[in-house]
């Protein structure tokens, strides 16, 4: 089953970004993931204000692939840098409709 990572990331220190981008991209691809959106162009249409600098959507071939990416030793120091240098929220969402 396809899974999606949906992130809201607001950097509070940009120092981690130049090293993060190429490594994250290659590790994501190695685990079968791909970016669907990675943008500052977003608009909240509903709910309590939840601002973020970036909205990111990744597609994964499976839950296991997404979790393997998050646990990848090559990614670990970059994840630590991102979480230390930003306010981040990451949801992993199953590509299914439980209400159908």
Pick the CATH number of 3-40+64-94 from 3.30.70.100, 3.20.20.70, 3.90.650.10, 1.10.10.10: 3.30.70.100
The residues spanned by each domain of the chain are: 3-40+64-94
pTM (2 d.p.) = 0.93
Question: For the segment 60-85, what is each residue's pLDDT rounded down to a tens digit?
Answer: 999 999 999 999 999 999 999 999 99
Residues 55, 71: Cα–Cα separation, whole Å: 22
Question: For the segment 18-56, what is each residue's pLDDT rounded down to a tens digit?
Answer: 999 999 999 999 999 999 999 999 999 999 999 999 999
Confidence of residue 86 (pLDDT cuts 50, 70, 90): very high
Let me know: does 45 contact 61? Beta carbons within 8 Å: no
């Amino acid at each position: 089953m396809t899974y999606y990572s949906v992130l809201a990331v607001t950097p509070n220190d940009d120092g981690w970004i130049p090293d993060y981008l190429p490594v994250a991209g290659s590790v994501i691809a190695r685990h079968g993931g791909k970016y669907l959106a990675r943008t500052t162009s977003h608009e909240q249409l509903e709910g309590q204000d939840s601002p973020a600098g970036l909205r990111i959507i990744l597609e994964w071939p499976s839950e296991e692939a997404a979790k393997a990416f998050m646990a990848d030793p090559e990614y670990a120091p970059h994840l630590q840098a991102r979480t230390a240098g930003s306010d981040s929220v990451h949801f992993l969402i199953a590509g299914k409709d439980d209400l159908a």
